Amino acid sequence: MTFEIQNLSVRDLADRFGTPLYLYDGDVLAGQYQGLRARLHGDVEIFYSMKANPNVAVCQLLHRLGARAEVSSMVELVTAQRAGVPADEIMFLGPGKSEEELAACARGEAGLFVAESFGELDRYDAMVAEAGGHGRTLIRVNPAFSVKGAGLTMGGKARQFGIDEDQLMRSGPAAERWPHLRIAGVQAYMGTRILQEAAVVADTTQIMAMAERITAALGCALDVVDVGGGLGIAYFEGERDLDVDVLAAGLNPVVDDFRRRHPHTRVLMELGRYLTAPAGTYVVRVRYVKDSHGEPFAVADGGTNHHMAAVGIGSFVKRNFPVALLSRDAADDNRPWNISGPLCTPNDLLVKRAVLPALRPGDLLGIGRSGAYGPSASPGLFLSHGFPAEVLVLDGVAHLVRRRDAVADLIQTQFVIDLEGRTGDSGERRHQGAGAGAGAGAAGR
């Protein structure tokens, strides 16, 4: 980590936009995409998994570079549309889609729909019939095999994601069961945070073979195979980033072999964390320093309410993201520091016993590799602090791409009710009849 982003001082950016603050380096973002795109087989289409960082400007930049969009909610779909991604470059997936989301896909707002259960296929078939849409559908498969080397596995055992491979193999011809859908192929996402090149190659090979088996059993075309992705980045001591040259050397021949057998089949890969994580820094300002039982604490203005990933969800041992003092040069009195946020919970610990110089109020600290699963995966309303500002530095210019929440933003969706004389059902009826605003307030609880 450095004190500058594209020759702009982090201290100046923090003074200008305030803290806590997410800073995204557009050069790093572009470098992650372009570095992989230049080495990966040219027939592999890269879809940006917007769940990693759903900021519209981040999506806009990646799409300008050539990425398509994978979305999992109505807001993500609209975000992709606002970022300029055309419908035929949008894929919609997720295990619990709403009626509104199904309807949007049935209207053709997403070029590919990924179904995750037999019930969803049945419902979507009926909706496509009503809407007169194209019904181009991938079936998400929960494979019989499991992934090796993933930080978080998402297949190969009992999961809420997809349909078990053996169930699909026994389900019969797809056209008879879902006559209004065009089953175009399969999707599988085996796990995330994979840091072993050989594991990605092995998983891809198995997914492609599974796609051939399942489409043959269903009697449908193999127009598309989505091999998932799960490419990881190194966060913690002892980890290393994927070697993209090694990855491509193993993966590209697998794609070549598949394309020889299926020259007209599209091959898709989903990438989120890999593209955005290295580009982001979460910047907080120290408010107070203190000692407790002989350990130093720096209490900052932001914490896990904005960066829950730094807690180490799913880990038995707290491991630190990269952290650095950004506001001044200091190499004196290094000691293990605990960095906490402003929340009333002992879990609000961004950093535990990280060796840092002597800290003081006003210092800026940067949590590195924070461009993925920051605000979008954090309890931003805990203690009602709201979400921080987000800034994208592009071509040497800092762009505010999300303003921080103000008090008015957080309170405006809530409604005070008249409790005077409120008794039983009559009071409830008065509240329900108070107009659209009251109804919205009740629904929002």
- Residue 85 Cα distances to 57, 69, 89, 239, angstroms: 12, 7, 6, 34
256-285: per-residue pLDDT in tens?
Answer: 999 999 999 999 999 999 999 999 999 999
Rounded percentage of the chain residues whose pLDDT exceeds 90: 73
Of the two residues 146 and 294, the one the predictor is more confident about is: 294
Question: Which CATH number is 279-408 given?
Answer: 2.40.37.10
Q: What percent of the chain has pLDDT over 70?
A: 89
The confidence band for 244, taking pLDDT boundaries of 50, 70 and 90, is very high
Same fold across 25-277 and 279-408: no
The answer, yes or no, to whether residue 368 has pLDDT greater than 90, is: yes
Homologous superfamily in CATH for domain 25-277? Alanine racemase (3.20.20.10)
What residue spans define the domains of the chain? 25-277, 279-408, 418-443
Task: Give yes or no for residue 354 having a pLDDT over 50.
Answer: yes
Secondary structure string (H, E, C) spanning the chain: CCCEECCEEHHHHHHHHCCCEEEEEHHHHHHHHHHHHHHCCCCEEEEEECCCCCCHHHHHHHHHHCCEEEECCHHHHHHHHHCCCCHHHEEECCCCCCHHHHHHHHCCCCCEEEECCHHHHHHHHHHHHHHCCCCEEEEEEECCCCCCCCCEECCCCCCCCCEEHHHHHCCCCHHHHCCCCEEEEEECCCEECECCHHHHHHHHHHHHHHHHHHHHHHCCCCCEEEEEECECCCCCCCCCCCCHHHHHHHHHHHHHHHHHHCCCCEEEEEECHHHHHHHEEEEEEEEEEEEECCEEEEEECCCCCCCHHHHCCCCCCCCCCCEEECCCCCCCCCEEEEEECCCCCCCCEEEEEEEECCCCCCCEEEECCCCCCCHHHCCCCHHHCCCCEEEEEECCEEEEEECCCCHHHHHCCCCCCCCCCCCHHHHHHHHHCCCHHHHHHHHCC
* pTM for this model (two decimals): 0.90
pLDDT at 432: 45
Lowest mean pLDDT among 5-9, 91-95, 128-132, 141-145: 141-145
State pLDDT tens for residues 25-55: 999 999 999 999 999 999 999 999 999 999 9
CA distance 168 to 215: 9
